[in-house]
Amino acid sequence: MKPAIDVARRVGTSLIAQGFSREHKTILELVNRYRSDFEEFGPLPKSKLSTKGRPVVEYSLDYNQMLLLLSYMRTTAEMRSLRVQLVKTGTLAKAVELLRNFESDGCPTRYVYAVVDGFGNVKIGITRDIDARVKSLQVANSTELRLVMYREAVGSGYSDEVRLHKECAGRHLRGEWFSSDALELIDQ
């Protein structure tokens, strides 16, 4: 068996997003905005993550690129503490392990939710601010949305949302939208 240091020479942006309980697209926006900064440390390989929707780009960062990304992320007390721990690890393999085991205790409360559009389609998601999320969804929807369920997320990262998506997989329409009978599978 190879030592842990050889296992991870790069870390994917999706794992970083999950470790910090952030949306992956937010992490991608930072990398794209400051791409030339990241490339000062070497190439910035990208791959496609397969999802049920369209493929999503993921960047693979080396240790220095990961530290640069962390410096660009918004600072909270929890983020400062985790940044210190990541820098102290000294290797990407140890940093990846720390990210995988990071619990977002102390991070803002998140809620899993379900909204129904005028056609009966159900969107299942996760957010820190229910009211703001429903309002932002409403702007892009031609029918009135109705919040039918929300509860505090108890798992780390996006695990509560992912679990609901898996439970409703047979009723999947597109992205995070499901047919109306998905409501029967959600514990309301």
Tell me the C-alpha distance between 177 and 119, whole Å.
12
Among the listed ranges 15-24, 86-95, 146-155, which one has the minimum average pLDDT value?
86-95
Q: 100-140: per-residue pLDDT in tens?
A: 665 544 456 788 999 999 999 999 998 888 888 899 899 88
Evaluate whether residue 106 is within a structural domain: no
- What is residue 160's predicted lDDT score, i.e. its pLDDT? 84
Do residue 61 and residue 25 come from a single domain?
yes
pLDDT at 144 over 60: yes
Specify the pLDDT at position 7: 40
Specify whether 16 is located in the same domain as 73: yes
Q: Which of 101, 120, 146 is where one domain is finished? A: 101
Total number of domains in the chain: 2
Question: Using one digit for the tens of pLDDT, what is the confidence trace for 89-103?
Answer: 776 667 766 666 655
Same domain, 50 and 118: no
137 and 91 housed in the same domain: no
Q: What is the pLDDT of residue 52?
A: 61
* Residue with the larger pLDDT of the pair 167 and 1: 167
Domain residues for 80?
A: 4-101
Domain termination residue (choose one: 101, 130, 145): 101
Q: Give residue-wise pLDDT tens across range 30-84.
A: 899 999 999 998 899 888 776 666 777 889 888 888 888 888 877 666 667 767 7
**What pLDDT is attached to residue 6?**
30
Q: Each residue of 163-174: pLDDT tens digit?
A: 898 999 999 998
Render the chain in DSSP notation, one character per residue: ---HHHH-S-EEHHHHHHHTT--HHHHHHHHHHTHHHHHTTS---EEEE--SSS-EEEEEE-HHHHHHHHHHSPP-HHHHHHHHHHHHH-SHHHHHHHHHH---TTSPP-EEEEEE-TTS-EEEEEES-HHHHHHHHHHT-SS--EEEEEEE--SSTTHHHHHHHHHTGGGEEETTEE-GGGGGGS--
